Structure 1
C-alpha cells in the first residue's frame, strides 16, 4: 500500500485495463485487509482517500480475478464495517 496517485492510476490503466480518468471509484485493499485506498478523478484532478483499521479487517470476500464491482451502498457499508449476510425468513405460525 505504498503507491500514491501515479502508482495507483498506473495499476488501473495497465492491470485493470480501465481509464482512471472516467470518474469511477477504484478501491484497493491490502492483503491483510487492514488498509484501504480509494482513487478517483474529478474535473480538477485526482483524489486519493485512505483508511487504516486499528482493529479488525475489512469484510470483503475474494474473487477469482481479484476484482469486484461495488455499488455506492456496498462501498459505504464496507467503509463503515457493516457486513450484510444472506438471511432466510421462515413462515411464522399465526393462531386464529
Structure 2
C-alpha cells in the first residue's frame, strides 16, 4: 500500500489522468463537479469503468485544482488539492487518458514536471562478467 498525502493507494492500482473534453471543462473549472458527475464522465465519455481499481485524476484549466476520484468498497472517494499561489504541471499528451504509477502521481501533486524528467534506460543484461 502506498500513501499519497492522506490517501492510501493499494498496490496494483492504476493512476489515470483524464484530460477533460471542452464540453465539460467549465463544470470542472468552477469546482461544482462532484464525485457522481466525475464518475459518469469517466464511464460515458472516456469509456472506462469508474469501479475499476484505479484513481482517476482531473485538473482544472488554470491548473490550480486537482481532483482524485476512486471507488473504495462501498462508495466513491473524492479528494481535492487546491493551490493558492502555484500551479500543477499537467503532462502534455495527445491521449485523453494517460496512465501513471503512484510515484509519478506523487510527483505531479508535488508540482514536478513529469515531461521534464528523464530516467536512466532499463538495461537487460545476460552476464555479469
Q: Any conservation in 1 of the 2:91–2:113 contact (CA below 8 Å)?
A: no
* Structure with bigger RCO (C-alpha 8 Å, 6+ apart): 2
Q: Which of 29, 54, 57 is matched with 1:24 structurally?
A: 54
Name the CA distance, whole Å, in 2 between partners of 1:49 and 1:71.
Answer: 18
The normalised TM-score by structure 2 is: 0.62
Name the CA distance, whole Å, in 2 between partners of 1:31 and 1:46.
Answer: 24
Give the structure with the higher percent strand.
Answer: 2
Moved more, 2-11 or 63-72: 63-72
Which whole-Å deviations, capped at 9, do the CAs of 1:9-68 have from their partners, x for residues lacking one?
A: 000001110000112100000111111001000112110000111112111222113321
Q: Which of 87, 96, 101 is matched with 1:57 structurally?
A: 87
Name the CA distance, whole Å, in 1 between partners of 2:64 and 2:42.
Answer: 21
Name the CA distance, whole Å, in 2 between partners of 1:6 and 1:61.
Answer: 25
Name the CA distance, whole Å, in 2 between partners of 1:13 and 1:79.
Answer: 24
Larger radius of gyration: 1
In the alignment, structure 2 segments of 5+ residues that lack a partner are 1-27, 121-129
Name the CA distance, whole Å, in 1 between partners of 2:51 and 2:91.
Answer: 27
Structure 1 segments (4+ residues) deviating >6 Å: none
Q: Is 1:81–2:117 an aligned residue pair? A: no
